Structure 1
Amino acid sequence: MPSLPRLTSPQPGPSGVFLPLQAPAAKAGSQRLRTWDIPTTFHCSIIGTCLTAGELRQILVKAGQEDARTATDHALHGRGVRLAGQRDHAAKLLNKALDKRHESAIKRIPRQADEAALRSIWRESFDRGDIAGPYWALMSHPGSPQALIRDIFGEVHMLSHLVGSASRLDIARLTRLEKDLALAHEKSERQEQRLRTAADERVALQQRIRQLEEKLVQAQASAAASRQASPATGATDRVETGSNRANTFAEQLVAAEETIGGLQRALDHSQDLSNALLRENEALEAMLAERTRSGERQDAVAMPGPVLYVGGRRNLFDHLRACAENRRVDLLLHDGGMEDSTTLLPALVGQAATVLFPVDHISHTAVGLVKRLCREQGKSYLPLRSAGLASFLAAITGAYGRL
């Protein structure tokens, strides 16, 4: 089989990576190239693009390198690059794995295709995101000219930089969201504990009421029996005593019912707060799950127009903008008069379809002004539980219902 000799005088390519001065062209119709026939300059991109770390690990273990089972991904990559330039049994296993892994892509490219056809195949594959298979198929194709090899290598090289940069940004955002979600979970657990305590107190009060009712019934029955069995002398005093006890029990019953009513109202308020926290948690979990699966922007509930956020903490404004942009929400911001003038609010309310404001981080003056402007201009507004990112995210993703 004809081999492709390696050149010893590389020149820097357009991406700053040293490329061979001139890669020999193989005759059309000859056998496909193997890794050791390809200049070593391209081995790093071939191994990193066309094989996963798991596949490379299996190849090295099969080649007798048992320590590859615990090696890091970076160490595996270095071994694979060195192996690609050899001609031993392990290199043949590597080349065979590449051919088998991308067999369908290899079969789609005719052996006798000219440069224009090969470029067309690469462009179509690249545009639809199918990179690994066509890259190996074209790099090992006997008819791939030097210009095509240089161009596709440059595109793959730059694509790796773009993907790495985007991944770092996604990891940073994911870390922030995980911290916010952990805080929300802690708040939810504390709220659930308070709800359980209130429920226990309510059960205890209900038991106490039943005991008082039973005593009241017994006292009334005892008073009636005393009236019937006792002679006239002294009967009036016993009846009055029984009546006084019954009145006392009745007063205690009324007081207990009032206490239960207060506890019930507190329990209802706590339940509403817990439901709000659960909705915020669900919104955060859905966002994290979507970023973990694809890293793409998540479609949100269609908003009727721009959303104005008044108040809150200025150090979170960048995060609010990022969440809104990720859900295609047109967000307007005003800090409620801390630094931004309140004279801007009428115009901003006029632009917005919906106004949001956190009740825990806005002045009473700003709240009154926002409500009055919304009533005058016929705009809807929604108070948020807190100035945190979770409450805002729950609102724009529809966790509180359509705005």
Structure 2
Amino acid sequence: MGSAGRLTNYDPARDSVAACEVVSSSGRLKLWEIGGGFHCSILGTCLATPDLKALARKLHLTPPVQATDYEIHGYFVQQATQEGAVARALQRLLDHRYEGALRRVGRLTDTAALEALWGDFKASGRIAGGYWALLTHRHVPNDLRARVFGEVHMMSHLQGAAVRDHASRADQLERDNSELRERLTRIGRSAQEAQAAVDERDRRIAVLSERLTVAEAIGTRAEPAPIPADRLERRLAKRERSLVGARTRARDLEADVERLNREVAALRHKPQPASQPAPSIEDLSPSLPPRVPGGACRLLYVGGRPGLVPHLRDIAERRQATFVHHDGGKEETLQRIDDLVERADAVLCPVDCISHSACLRVKHLCQRHSKVFLPLKSASRSCFARALMELGLKPPPAPEGGNRAVAG
């Protein structure tokens, strides 16, 4: 392979540096004095597009409205190659911005020291200042300038690759971000639904708690107060006494039932006429002589008409007698007659206003207890008054000088 094909023969940095006309080894080169293709690299490395736009406004330059960043960069690169207002403004801006780097490079003359300083500029990220200082100081060797230019040139390529990589990563991040935003939206909706469910649960809990409070309050009011033990004991003793009395009365009633059953059986075996008329006064003759010992007596009147009872009581009380009435079983129980007959001195029954069985029962009771039994033909007041006369109960005498009282 010929020498023309060797890759190492191509060194654009060395050719550019060789194009620089270094008049002396002291001082610094002006921007327009730097030859070759350094201007594009210097402006692209040391100044950003906003810096160039700001400088254009300061110089009252009006770029086209649709001018791109590349077109603005190209305009200033072209103006930097020749001395003029734009080139001098660029020189002042670069010298002012990188004043510190210019001083550090200006203090060093040894090539090794300058190479070490360039390494420090790269390590600290101050490449732009070091690049401007090393390219403009006349005492910097051309080989070092070529090396610095080459490294910055390759950095631009690496930066382009990094930009492409960053753009790819940014695109991927944008897609990931879109997906995350969508997931976040779904999560937000789920969170809202969950919050709504929680709110509904809290509302139901509040309603149930209120119902429970009301129920407990009602239960507290409805629950009776506890009864003291001594009161319960007294109640129990009273109930026990009542139970003993009830059992005693039950036994007495059972005995009465047995007795009445025997009497009913005896009556059933006694021959009766086919059609039994109402008992006559002869059939129900008094069981004892119709005379009551003098003094107050107790009369039992069984049956009769309810409307006449008050008048009959008045007639009896006017004769100093106590009047007791029983309706003969119409509304009052017949079992009560037994006790009334036992406590009475005489018993009167109007046969026209009492059942045959009730009248016979009263007669038998009077015979058993040796009581005066007097059947009446009717329930009238006059018949009742005559019966009292037969019993020896007369009305009180009328006062002297007055009208004679008519017998009740």
Q: Which TM-score band applies after superposition, normalised by the shorter structure?
A: 0.3 to 0.5
Normalising by structure 1, report the TM-score.
0.47
Mark the structure with the bigger radius of gyration: 2
Normalising by structure 2, report the TM-score.
0.46
